[in-house]
Amino acid sequence: MARIHVRTAALVSAGILTITTAPALAANQPSAVQSTPCRTSSLALDWTSGGTAKPGGTNTEDQVNAFVAVKNTGSGACTLRGYPKVTLKMGTETQGVETETFFPQTSEKPKTVRLNSGASARFTVTFLSGKESDDNIIDPGVAAVTLPGNTKAKELRWWWGPVQKQEAATHPGNYVGPVYR
């Protein structure tokens, strides 16, 4: 009977050792699957094909969309999760700058996107196309984009013509979707 207790004690002892040391090792060593958050300095942005917006604002629909590609130009993998902040800018520092900030499209839930070096993701910018004759429009020169987890913006030249201002609207028609693959 002593043999059973010794064998059981050895198994229990080994089991406890495995249970108590394995989590400590995992907590101290970074997982090969985890990545650091993507930083603005390691990302390139550009408009990409597939949207309904037309260059110069020659849109035939009131609400259109454009896609932005986000490319990891860094040497390692990184992750993005959430909604980019998109602010349209019109004017100059000396004449004054007018802006329009897009709201997150919360009906689309964000997921964590892992970008290996050289890989790309995208997000959608949806907006109400404006006409030069409209009173409440902005005709921006650039779109300042701040990616999730970052505070520094990158600017893209705005190709899509005038946009109806929606910041004060109860149900705004200008919004941005989450980053996705």
DSSP state of 178: P
Mean predicted confidence (pLDDT) in 132-148: 91
Q: Which of 40, 47, 168, 157 is nearest to 103 (CA)?
A: 168
Mean predicted confidence (pLDDT) in 4-14: 46
Residue 127 contacts residue 174 (beta carbons within 8 Å): yes
- Compute how many other C-beta atoms are within 10 angstroms of the C-beta atom of residue 130: 22
pLDDT over 70 (residue 29):
no
Identify each DSSP E strand in the chain by its residue range. 36-37, 43-48, 63-72, 78-80, 85-92, 96-101, 103-104, 113-115, 120-128, 137-138, 142-146, 154-157, 163-164, 175-176
Instruction: Give the pLDDT confidence of 100-110 residue by residue, as tens digits.
Output: 999 999 999 99
Task: Quote the pLDDT of residue 13.
Answer: 47
Instruction: Give the pLDDT confidence of 52-100 residue by residue, as tens digits.
Output: 999 998 888 899 999 999 999 999 999 999 999 999 999 987 788 999 9
Token pair for 25:
């090792």
Task: Quote the pLDDT of residue 6.
Answer: 47
34 confidence band (pLDDT: 50, 70, 90): low
- Choose between 33 and 50: higher pLDDT: 50
